[in-house]
Amino acid sequence: MSTTATATTNAQSAIEPATQPQSWCHIAPYGTYRYMRHKDGEPLLDADGQPLYGQQVLDTQALRGILAAWDPATPLLVDREHWSMDQQRADSAAMAWVVELELRADGLWGLLRWTDIGYAEVVNRRLRWLSPVWDLLEDGRPEKLLSVGLTNTARFKDALAPVVNKADPPETTPQPPPPGLAGNSTTKDPTDMEKFITLLGLPEDATEEDVLAAIQALLTERAEAEAAALNSEAEEAAEENEDIIQNKADFIALYRQYPEAARAMLRTLQRNKPQAEPPVTNRAEARRPSFLDAATGGASAVKNKLEIFREMPEGAAKDAYQREHGAELLALERSTTAAAQ
């Protein structure tokens, strides 16, 4: 956003009339989206003259980051067709102001406070979708919401709920509408089902089954996105701690099902991680573990924790014993292997 646009934002937010109508609108959905890269309005091409593509990753991590970077004290500009960023137009007239952000099951939503211009565009169905503007990090996730455009050519259009799905005005506050906008006083309040249909972007004649199916699809998509993020986190943790994890597959499975328990186990193993000893260059000089008795051919008169663990039957008790003595069992396992070589 330009300095001029920022100044306009601050100035207009200070004089917003309390009577402006407000409505919650869908700004961005979950998902990964491929797009053609541009520079100065022209597509970027590779050495063979083919278009270059990038991708935007809109997962839970990304949209939570947008919320974390949001400054609720400064309403955000909603312009028309991103004109405030167009060098030729440089038109920063506000269609609305984003005054709140919220993360829902189907993505990022914003509470828009409409101006007379934007309200007329929406009520008359001239412009129906929102298009966010943000900088992307190297991993394709957005960093901070810079502005929003009211448009009919939104990049995420197929996954967005339109601002108005029917010829009804946006949901307003109990305050009277701005002067000059006729018909608002007689607008019938939509039913709960109509609100769901509008929010989900379904056809006007959608049934209750259609609404439930759409909600289930959104919940499934969200669960899959969160599972993928957790799996990626588990893989990364396993690679970073491969020196203290014996079975990577089992650890990842544990991490997926009980992430907090897996993280706690990692912290315990890292605290009790044995210090590396200098390598022994002469095997004859290597010390045998104290629990091994040469006179009995490597058997110990008193069972150590590793032997106890190996003889325990599979079950909850053995799992608890491993959690409690994990670091010591790992050290004994390694000592036994080294002595046997």
Structure confidence by residue, pLDDT tens digits, 91-122: 888 999 999 999 998 899 999 999 999 999 98
Lowest pLDDT segment from 2-6, 55-59, 214-218: 2-6
pLDDT of the residue at 293: 46
DSSP state at residue 169: P
Structure confidence by residue, pLDDT tens digits, 243-256: 888 888 888 888 88
pLDDT of the residue at 65: 93
Does this model's pTM top 0.75? My answer is no
Per the CB < 8 A criterion, the answer to whether 61 and 227 are in contact is: no
Sheet of strand 129-136: strand arrangement: 22-28, 107-114, 96-104, 76-80, 142-151, 129-136
Angle of helix 208-240 relative to helix 259-271, nearest 10 degrees, comes to 10
- Burial (CB < 10 A; 0-12, 13-18, 19+), residue 320, is exposed
pLDDT of the residue at 279: 56
Nearest CA among 218, 189, 187, 226 for reference residue 202: 218
- Please, which residues bridge with residue 145 across strands? 134
pLDDT of the residue at 339: 66
Q: Under CATH, to which class is 3-173 assigned?
A: alpha beta
Specify the DSSP element, H or E, that contains 56: strand 53-58
What residues have CB less than 8 Å from 340, skipping those under 6 apart? Answer: 298
Encoded amino acid at 41, one letter: G
Domain ranges of the chain: 3-173, 202-265, 288-341
